[in-house]
Amino acid sequence: MNREERILYHQIHPAKIAADVTGSIISAILVWQHHFWWAMLGAFAPAFLGSALVLQFADLNKLKASRMGRYIERFMNHWVEAWRFGGQIVMWMGCWCHEWLAIPVGALIVISAWSSGLLRSKSSHRTAE
């Protein structure tokens, strides 16, 4: 597996997902308290550490061959990654302004980015018929 593939498939490794979710929660709490720089450290340190460890040590071939692996190979791109990050920014903005409703809205944006391929898959399937 080449470097580009490892970078793609590491996104669905359970340890990487756990690091990202943990970082999101830690950073949201710190942003709520207006500790911006600590929040950014809390967001990105687990993400970078999780990525480094998964990229270095994980066997990603099983993930590549999985249903989720085939899904992200087909639908994950830099636009979807930006869309996911945009959802995180919405959550942070809600935390900063103490607008609690923005937190689930941001989470829904992240979930919609991850699941956007399901809609694209159905629309492309209909077009092919």
pTM for the complete prediction?
A: 0.86
pLDDT digits (tens, 9 = 90+) for 60-102: 999 999 999 999 999 999 999 999 999 999 999 999 999 999 9
At 105 the three-state DSSP class reads helix
Given a contact cutoff of 8 angstroms between Cβ atoms, the answer to whether 83 and 109 are in contact is: yes
**pLDDT band for position 121 (50/70/90)?**
low
CA neighbours within 13 Å on the CB side: how many for 86? Answer: 12
**Helices and strands (H and E) in the chain: how many:** 7, 0
Residues 6+ apart with CB under 8 A from 8: 72, 73, 76
Q: What pLDDT is recorded for position 122?
A: 62
pLDDT digits (tens, 9 = 90+) for 11-38: 999 999 999 999 999 999 999 999 999 9
Q: What pLDDT is recorded for position 119?
A: 83
